[in-house]
Amino acid sequence: MHEMALCEGIIGIVEEEARKRAFAKVNVVCLEIGALSHVAPEALKFCFEAVAARTIARGARLEIVETPGTAWCMDCSRSVEIRQRYEPCPSCGGYHLQVTGGEEMRVRELEVD
């Protein structure tokens, strides 16, 4: 389950920010997760609770904002929204798509004390 490793990375980011900005407690961690990122939000929430248990983020709520996948269609020269890789262009039905967004995962914001 790679979500456990992802959560360890998230906690690392949170702890680094706590050192830089001198806060003592994290109440909310808000993540942006792209639809094409291969991250399972429910598994991430489960793992986050376990990883955060002995850290500055103990008891913090994990909020997830899912962002759509986007691609450039080389057949119809349009930017389109896609739900998964290798599906056809929703505008023209072509398969010549270059993914342009939705693969990312990032800490969007922290609510701290």
Can you give the CATH number for the domain in which 16 is found?
A: 3.30.2320.80
The confidence score (pLDDT) of residue 1 equals 55
Pick the closest to residue 62 from 35, 91, 27 (CA basis): 27
pTM of the predicted protein model:
0.85
Overall average pLDDT of the 38-57 stretch:
94
Task: Evaluate whether 9 touches 55 at the Cβ level (below 8 Å).
Answer: no
Domain that holds residue 24: 2-112
In the predicted structure, residue 36 carries a pLDDT above the cut 90: yes
70-99 pLDDT, tens digit each: 999 999 999 999 999 999 999 999 999 999
Among 77, 74, 76, 66, which residue's Cα sits nearest to residue 101?
A: 66
Q: Which of 1-5, 44-48, 86-90 has the lowest mean pLDDT?
A: 1-5
| Residue 2 confidence (pLDDT) | 87
Instruction: Give the number of domains in the chain.
Output: 1
